[in-house]
């Protein structure tokens, strides 16, 4: 079994890069700090005997040869980028759990039949650049390499240039690399396992997701002399849509989710009625038909607000992935490994998107969840117990061995 | 009478500094562009024979001697700073109308009994720095010089340093300068004069204003796995308060106004439930009791949202001025001058704050309004007719002469 202390220590070492005051991490995708985090982990991967390849979107692959290298490798992985106010475990646990598996096999001189690979996917979080799950998305053919490389952050900086700047604009083509099976370990990022005292979540599949950009155009006017009835206040109109997002999710319980995360108000002056408001929408559901209904309701709300408030509402689709079931056989292996180790477990969907969701469309895929404190993630206070991380990593070791031997 | 073409040409010359693509102006208070605008106008003031004094908050006074210089001067003025997406007339008309009066008297070799002064007040708009109407506010003793000098913009830059940087950190003490009477010409910034085909607004006084900063603290969590009932979404809570601001104003018609102009959502990531939302509130009313009621309703809404949404709501008072009637005798002079010139006119309150509102507390004060296109101000497309500006400037000339001779 794996070395839980070593896994924890590596997590804490990595968390020093981009550490925030409240104990979290800020290593935005392709920022200099993301580059430093990658350098640290690539060094560890080399020490663990892995052969490194970097592809054109900055995905990193560390390969451990097997006895039969014609076999498609068993891959694990996750991401190293974080939210602006992110935690120490989201993504990093999956990468370092994979590393710990590799280190453990090295310690014991084990050679598997099929080769093993550890992947670090680029820009999973989707905070600085969309599409979200960018590296795995291009790898799985969900969108083109140019779509990814031309994506800009809020300051107009491009993925293409930022990859160069941190030294991760690799030469390998993106995708086409064989994958025999893909496992990803991750913290749950929700409260279910903790509430039920489970240690392992056997992830059966993922909620579908729809992202949008909404822009509401009204009329900038003076906050003082302009009578209320003459206003076309873009913000007042927008608040009705922001509430509609929440109400639509509430109408599709227990699985619906709705979030407005980014808001920009123009021109942004105390005494100016906002002339333009832009905001993001994130809708999710486990069931494709329900997600379609939610999408239709949002469009209807936009039309209604446009009609009632004398504003122009523009709704732009930004990203979509459907509810994605994982591979029944691999999911069964995760369940069996938890069972075998006598770890309390339950089947669970993932409400977060993961690189595994895109990889699931090109290779058999499953995920292993462990609890996180109070279900809190995408927050600096995100926390997880060493013994849970160790247990999750041991399940990862077990399924990777079972699948590659 | 004054030279309307010269007035228009000066307005257009000034508007070249900080011109925006849509035909407006961006000369934020104490920015380098504000400095350039001031330099241009100070040059013109000197050519018109005025003696320049700059005080410690950057207010500029241009003095034209009278026959009896022991008399308190008749002053006019306004401001040169603009909104981020401001127009060519708000403030500039008042300053350049005053300049045109001085130029006209110079042309005709007129010497008045009392001296005349033209004032350019610092940071009237309150966009980059609060308090709004900063220069006239310190001058009238509404808040201290240090309050003004220590005010910071969103980037942490201080008034004190920015005054130095543009060369307008003057030596004269702020306030104490005698004012026999103060007249300010301005565009209406609302639709009433235009709708009623009036050329002159005889301003009887100003709406009262209350400014606030509101902060809503919830809990940052992941937009995907976090079930709707477990959320403490700071933005969802905040939208109810933003709507309350509008509803409160609507409940106090026809004179109530409510605006949310600036909004900041933290951490600002598509897939993070907002943990903190800050926004500004602007409430106005012509009647002090109604403004108090609106204030009480806002506080009640804050308490309600805090109770219902599991968030913390913090309401901070930022600025207050009460409804301010202007001097009956000076208002009468404006009405008489419009009458005399056979200009269609009506009495009107000002919904915008003006430097005149603070000066009204230390000297007899009145204002002269002219219409602006579609009542639109604080917008790049703000517009006014040359013949209306000329008429307003002629009324200004008439009342300044009447009061100083
Ligand atoms: N795991 C994770 O936080 N992914 C970010 C993508 C999402 O929004 O679900
Ligand atoms: N005149 C003018 O636009 N003043 C700005 C201050 C206010 O918000 O009323």
What single string gives the DSSP state of each residue in A58-104? Answer: --EEEEE--S-TTSPPEEEEEE----TTB-SSTTHHHHHHHHHHHHH
For residue A315, the CA-to-ligand 1 centroid distance in Å is: 22
Q: Rounded to the nearest 5 degrees, what angle is found at the Cα of A64, between the Cα atoms of A63 and A66?
A: 125
Contact by Cβ (8 Å): A123, A29:
yes
Cβ B227–A267 below 8 Å, yes or no?
no
Distance CA A186, CA B288 (A): 59
For residue B83, the CA-to-ligand 2 centroid distance in Å is: 9
Distance CA A362, CA B106 (A): 84
Nearest CA in chain A to B348: A225
Ligand 1 binding pocket includes A135 (Cβ within 6 Å)? no
Residue nearest to atom 6 of ligand 1 (CA): A353
CB < 8 Å to A250, chain B: 228
For residue B229, the CA-to-ligand 1 centroid distance in Å is: 20
- R_g over Cα of chain A: 22
Q: Token pair of A334, please? A: 């995760």
Q: Give A372 to chain B, closest Cα distance, Å.
A: 12
Would you state the torsion angle of the CA atoms of residues B157, B162, B164, B167, taken in this order, to the nearest 10 degrees? 170
Percent of chain A at pLDDT > 70 equals 100
Q: How far out from the chain centre does Cα A343 lie?
A: 26
Give every residue of chain B whose pLDDT is below 50, as ranges: none
For residue A270, the CA-to-ligand 2 centroid distance in Å is: 10
Residue A282 CB-half CA count within 13 A: 28
Distance CA A94, CA A253 (A): 30
CB < 8 Å to B226, chain A: 189-191, 257, 351, 375
Tell me the whole-structure pTM to 2 decimals. Answer: 0.95
Q: Which atom of ligand 2 is nearest to the CA of B132?
A: 6
Q: Rounded to the nearest 5 degrees, what angle is found at the Cα of A17, between the Cα atoms of A52 and B219?
A: 120
Parallel, antiparallel or unpaired: strands A276-285 and A263-266 = antiparallel
3 state SS of A365: strand
Residue nearest to atom 6 of ligand 2 (CA): B353
Contact by Cβ (8 Å): B60, B50:
no
Q: Please, which residues have CB within 8 angstroms of residue A333's CB and are 6 or more apart in sequence?
A: A366, A399, A402, A403
Contact by Cβ (8 Å): B122, B151:
no
The full DSSP string for A240-291 is HHHHHHHHHHHTTTTT-EEE---EEEES--TTEE-SEEEEEEEEEESSHHHH
Cβ B282–A271 below 8 Å, yes or no?
yes
pLDDT value of residue B120: 98
* Per-residue pLDDT tens digits for A106-149: 999 999 999 999 999 999 999 999 999 999 999 999 999 999 99
CB < 8 Å to B253, chain A: 228-229
Cβ contacts below 8 Å, chain A against chain B, sum to 256
CB < 8 Å to A351, chain B: 222, 224-226
**Mean pLDDT score, A321-340:** 98
Ligand 1 binding pocket includes B225 (Cβ within 6 Å)? no
pLDDT tier, A66 (very low <50, low <70, confident <90, very high otherwise):
very high
Name residue, tokens 């008399």.
B71
Q: Which atom of ligand 1 is nearest to the CA of A132?
A: 6
Residue nearest to atom 2 of ligand 1 (CA): A352
Measured between CB atoms, which of B209, B265, B378 is closest to A272?
B378
CB < 8 Å to B268, chain A: 84, 261-263
Q: Which atom of ligand 2 is nearest to the CA of A223?
A: 8
Determine the residue of A82, A93, A125 to mutate for testing ligand 1's pocket, defined as the one with the most ligand atoms within 8 A of the Cβ atom: A125
Query: How far is CA B256 from each of CA A219, A274, B216, B323, B376, rounded to the nearest angstrom?
Result: 19, 18, 25, 12, 18
CB < 8 Å to A29, chain B: none
Cβ A269–B84 below 8 Å, yes or no?
yes
pLDDT value of residue B276: 98
pLDDT value of residue B364: 98
For residue B33, the CA-to-ligand 2 centroid distance in Å is: 20
For residue A112, the CA-to-ligand 2 centroid distance in Å is: 74
Q: Which atom of ligand 1 is nearest to the CA of A133?
A: 6
Measured between CB atoms, which of A83, A250, A271 is closest to B126?
A271
Q: Give A107 to chain B, closest Cα distance, Å.
A: 36
Q: Give A273 to chain B, closest Cα distance, Å.
A: 6
Interface test with B, best of A216, A239, A290 (most B CBs within 10 A): A239
Q: Which atom of ligand 1 is nearest to the CA of A79?
A: 1
Contact by Cβ (8 Å): B57, B109:
no
Cβ B225–A253 below 8 Å, yes or no?
no
Cβ A189–B224 below 8 Å, yes or no?
yes
Burial class (CB within 10 angstroms; exposed 0-12, middle 13-18, buried 19+) of B147: middle
Distance CA B73, CA B219 (A): 58
Cβ A228–B219 below 8 Å, yes or no?
no
CB < 8 Å to A243, chain B: 236, 239-240
Note the ligand closest to the C-alpha atom of B372.
2
Cβ A282–B271 below 8 Å, yes or no?
yes
Ligand 1 binding pocket includes B224 (Cβ within 6 Å)? yes
Q: Give A389 to chain B, closest Cα distance, Å.
A: 19
Which candidate, A310, A392, A401, A335, places its Cα nearest to that of A11?
A392
3 state SS of B4: helix
Q: Which atom of ligand 1 is nearest to the CA of B224?
A: 9
Q: Give A369 to chain B, closest Cα distance, Å.
A: 12
pLDDT value of residue A194: 98
Q: Give A154 to chain B, closest Cα distance, Å.
A: 11
pLDDT value of residue A230: 95
Residue nearest to atom 8 of ligand 1 (CA): B271
Q: Give A173 to chain B, closest Cα distance, Å.
A: 29
For residue A271, the CA-to-ligand 2 centroid distance in Å is: 7
Which candidate, B51, B186, B169, B27, places its Cα nearest to that of B118?
B51
Cβ A225–B351 below 8 Å, yes or no?
yes
Cβ B188–A225 below 8 Å, yes or no?
yes
Residues facing residue A210 across a β-bridge: A283, A320
Q: How many residues does chain B have?
A: 405
* Per-residue pLDDT tens digits for B145-198: 999 999 999 999 999 999 999 999 999 999 999 999 999 999 999 999 999 999
Q: Which atom of ligand 1 is nearest to the CA of A83?
A: 3
């Amino acid at each position: 079994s794996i070395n839980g202390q070593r896994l924890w220590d590596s997590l804490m070492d990595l968390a020093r890069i981009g550490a925030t005051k409240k104990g979290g991490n800020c290593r935005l995708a392709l920022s200099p700090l993301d580059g430093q985090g990658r350098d640290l982990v690539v060094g560890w991967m080399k020490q663990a005997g892995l052969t490194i390849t970097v592809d054109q979107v900055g995905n990193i692959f560390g390969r451990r040869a097997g006895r039969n290298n014609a076999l498609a490798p068993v891959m694990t992985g996750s991401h190293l980028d974080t939210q602006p106010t992110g935690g120490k475990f989201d993504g990093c646990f999956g990468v370092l759990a994979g590393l710990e598996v590799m280190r453990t096999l090295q310690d014991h001189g084990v050679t598997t039949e099929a080769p093993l690979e550890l992947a670090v996917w680029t820009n999973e979080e989707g905070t600085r650049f969309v599409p979200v799950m960018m590296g795995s998305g291009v790898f799985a053919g969900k969108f083109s390499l140019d779509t990814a490389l031309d994506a800009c952050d809020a300051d107009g900086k491009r993925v293409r240039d930022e990859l160069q700047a941190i030294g991760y604009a690799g030469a390998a083509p993106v995708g086409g690399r064989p994958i025999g099976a893909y496992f990803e370990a991750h913290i749950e990022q929700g409260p279910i396992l903790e509430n039920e005292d489970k240690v392992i979540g056997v992830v059966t599949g993922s909620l579908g997701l729809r992202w949008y950009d909404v822009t509401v155009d009204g009329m900038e006017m003076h906050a003082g002399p302009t009578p209320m009835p003459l206003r076309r206040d873009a913000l007042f109109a927008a608040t009705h849509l922001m509430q509609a997002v929440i109400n639509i999710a509430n109408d599709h319980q227990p699985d619906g989710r709705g979030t407005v995360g980014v808001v920009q108000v123009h021109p942004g002056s105390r005494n100016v009625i906002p002339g333009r408001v832009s905001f993001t929408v994130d809708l999710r559901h486990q069931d494709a038909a329900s997600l379609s209904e939610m999408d239709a309701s949002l469009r209807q709300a936009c039309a209604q607000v446009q009609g009632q408030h004398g504003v122009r509402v523009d709704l732009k689709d930004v990203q979509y992935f459907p509810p994605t079931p994982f591979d029944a056989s691999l999911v069964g292996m995760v369940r069996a490994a938890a069972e075998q180790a006598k770890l309390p477990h339950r089947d669970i969907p993932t409400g977060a998107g993961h690189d595994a969701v895109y990889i699931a469309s090109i290779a058999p895929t499953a995920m292993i969840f462990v609890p996180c404190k109070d279900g809190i993630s995408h927050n600096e206070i995100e926390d997880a117990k060493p013994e849970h991380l160790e247990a999750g990593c041991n399940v990862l070791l077990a399924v990777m061995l079972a699948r590659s031997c």
